[in-house]
């Protein structure tokens, strides 16, 4: 599973995370300095994850990274592709000595992150136009 470019991940991220919006709605200001990983089924990108440095003061340790833009094509959801791309990111993070990753997990993604070793760190909160989320983290 290779690292991919932002340009490669944007169409899938936009289609899954921001349907009925322009692709620019799925762009993050940190994308140019972020890492992007992807899983392909043949030549088709089916799952992607993005992460960038961003510390949360309450975790106390510098060098944290935030996961954003995790998306898996609806046709292959629940077939392990999301877990593969997340594992690739976490393995990379261990090699880079990143202390922890955190994310704002959509309500429907919370069980996925729990299965992969994340813990819930907040009560449910709403992100306007996107829906309910909880902060989650994993210490590497």
- 64-115 pLDDT per residue, tens: 999 999 999 999 888 999 999 999 999 999 999 999 999 999 999 999 999 9
In a domain, 133, yes or no: yes
66 touches 51 (CB < 8 A) = yes
In a domain, 103, yes or no: yes
- pLDDT of 25 > 90? The answer is no
Q: Which two tokens stand for residue 109?
A: 């993604």
What is the number of domains present in the chain?
1
Q: Where are the alpha helices (DSSP H) in the chain?
A: 6-17, 81-95, 110-115
In a domain, 1, yes or no: no
Which range of residues forms the domain containing residue 54? 6-139
Task: Say which CATH number the domain at 130 has.
Answer: 3.40.630.30
DSSP state of 80: T
Distance from C-alpha of 136 to C-alpha of 114, rounded to nearest angstrom? 9
In a domain, 30, yes or no: yes
Q: Phi and psi (nearest 5°) for 91? A: -60, -45
């Amino acid at each position: 599973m290779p690292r991919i470019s932002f340009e490669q991940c944007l169409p899938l991220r936009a289609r899954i995370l921001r349907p009925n919006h322009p692709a620019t709605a799925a762009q993050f200001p940190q994308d140019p300095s972020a890492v992007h990983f992807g899983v392909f089924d043949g030549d088709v990108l089916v799952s992607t994850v993005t992460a960038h440095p961003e510390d949360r003061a309450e975790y106390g340790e510098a060098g944290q990274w935030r996961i954003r833009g995790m998306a898996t094509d609806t046709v292959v959801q629940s077939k392990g592709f999301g877990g593969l791309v997340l594992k690739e990111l976490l393995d990379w993070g261990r090699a880079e000595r990143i202390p922890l990753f955190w994310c704002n997990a959509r309500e429907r993604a919370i069980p996925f992150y729990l299965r992969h070793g994340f813990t819930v760190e907040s009560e449910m909160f709403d992100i306007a136009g996107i829906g309910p989320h909880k902060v989650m983290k994993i210490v590497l």
